[in-house]
Structure 1
Amino acid sequence: MPQPLTPAPYTHVPPPSTIKWTRHQCRAIQESGVLTGRYELIEGEIISKMGQNRPHSYVVTQVAVWLFALFGGQFVLIQQPILLLGEDNEMSEPEPDGAVLRQPAAAYRDETPSASEALLVVEVSDSTLRFDQNTKTALYSRSGIPEYWVIDITKRQIFVYRDPAPSGYQSVAVYAPDEEIATLARPEQAIRVADLLPLLSL
């Protein structure tokens, strides 16, 4: 007789293999019209960026207003792609919520700016917090981006990553709502975390 077994809890098992896309393949299917909406390519996976909730959109706007005032609109990208360096260049093209560049936008009229041109990259996180703190942190660090902020909407705090290395950022700090924070590029001009992260109904 067959031996009865106790049903095990369901565990998701990924398929044996998946297709990994390159930047060039991803752009080709976008241009063909098959892929619509907003997406970013991360480690060969095409990730949808649609359906952002209102708190996320609001904080992105707050960050944009502050960065524009601090650096000037010509030096700031909002939700636009940047090219990574080295081994990540072909399989990833992230679209951070904010980025500050070394040169004005006119310098990148005909090409996507490289990570080597970024002074600061910002991700506004709610449901994507673990992804932004792990996968994207590794990508940005390997490309040598000197400063990376992860803005945690839910807990109203900002994680600041500095000193990039191939193994990851060597300096990490977290700022609470009542603390002031400043960028490496403009250390003399600080802002309270609470001013970027007002109380919101999540």
Structure 2
Amino acid sequence: MTITTYKWTIERYHQAIEAGIFDDQPIELLRGDLIVMPPEREPHAYYNTEAADYLRALLGEQVKIRDRKPITLPNNSEPAPDIAIVKPLGEVYLKHHPYPEDIFWLIEFSQATLSKNLGEKREIYAEAGIVEYWVVNLKNSQLQVFRNLENGQYTTEIILTTGTISPRSFPDVFIPVERLTGFLRR
């Protein structure tokens, strides 16, 4: 006997949301599969909020910071990254969530979901053309930066524990790594 799973499309996923089928259950769509999102523990929620507030103050009106909001990707994926730094397109986002071309970079904070964020999500973001992806590894107080897309894969990975990082879209902006990892506050 062969087991076949149902693959969701973005369109059907949106129809199911509109119909209230998921009953406000926190889920995300990854490559056509529905994934239940685990509840956030306190450190994850704290660092996510602090980083989003910091980036809002640092980058101002040249971006829109969306935390835990969906983005729509062409590979039947609609994840909700911890932080999406996107173009400030205003009411365009009433019609659709940000598409890859609207996204400057994405940030995920990881403790329990580290393998998913470094594996499946990294692959999905690269396939979709997200130009830069950061994973804040809360277990090891480090920042893993993925850049330089080639054939749907990131070719550069940088691991930082100290110093500053400049997003590719904003090379004149310097973000202290410890501001994201919380290393200085421990």
Q: Paired residue for 1:28, among 7, 12, 15?
A: 15
Alignment partner of 1:43 is 2:31: yes
Q: Which has the higher strand share?
A: 2
Equivalent residue number for residue 132 of structure 2: 147
Q: How does 1:57-68 map onto structure 2 within 5 Å?
A: 57-68=45-56
Q: Paired residue for 1:120, among 102, 105, 119?
A: 105
SS in 2 for 1:59: helix
SS in 1 for 2:133: strand
Q: Paired residue for 1:181, among 140, 145, 165?
A: 165
Deviation of 1:69 after TM superposition, in Å, equals 1.4
Q: How many residues align?
A: 182
CA contact (8 A) 2:144 2:159 kept: yes
Deviations 1:97-128 (CA, angstroms, capped at 9, x unpaired): 11112333333232222111111111111111
Deviation of 1:96 after TM superposition, in Å, equals 0.9
CA contact (8 A) 1:144 1:165 kept: no
Deviation of 1:166 after TM superposition, in Å, equals 2.7
Root-mean-square deviation (CA, aligned residues, Å) is 2.1
Deviations 1:73-95 (CA, angstroms, capped at 9, x unpaired): 6622111111213xx1xx21111
Q: Paired residue for 2:6, among 19, 25, 29?
A: 19
Deviation of 1:50 after TM superposition, in Å, equals 4.4
Where does the alignment leave 5 or more consecutive residues of structure 2 unmatched?
none
SS in 2 for 1:124: strand
Once residues 198 and 18 of structure 1 are traced to their aligned partners in structure 2, the CA distance between those partners, rounded to angstroms, is 41
Equivalent residue number for residue 84 of structure 1: 73
Residues 167 and 186 of structure 1: CA distance in aligned 2, closer, same or farther (over 3 Å):
closer
Could you tell me the percent identity over the aligned residues?
28
Equivalent residue number for residue 197 of structure 1: 181
Letter in 2 for 1:191: I
Question: Which of structures 1 and 2 has the bigger CA Rg?
Answer: 1
Once residues 165 and 125 of structure 1 are traced to their aligned partners in structure 2, the CA distance between those partners, rounded to angstroms, is 25
Letter in 2 for 1:149: W
CA contact (8 A) 2:133 2:147 kept: yes
SS in 1 for 2:150: coil
TM-score (norm. length: structure 1) = 0.81
CA contact (8 A) 1:37 1:50 kept: no
Residues 195 and 170 of structure 1: CA distance in aligned 2, closer, same or farther (over 3 Å):
same
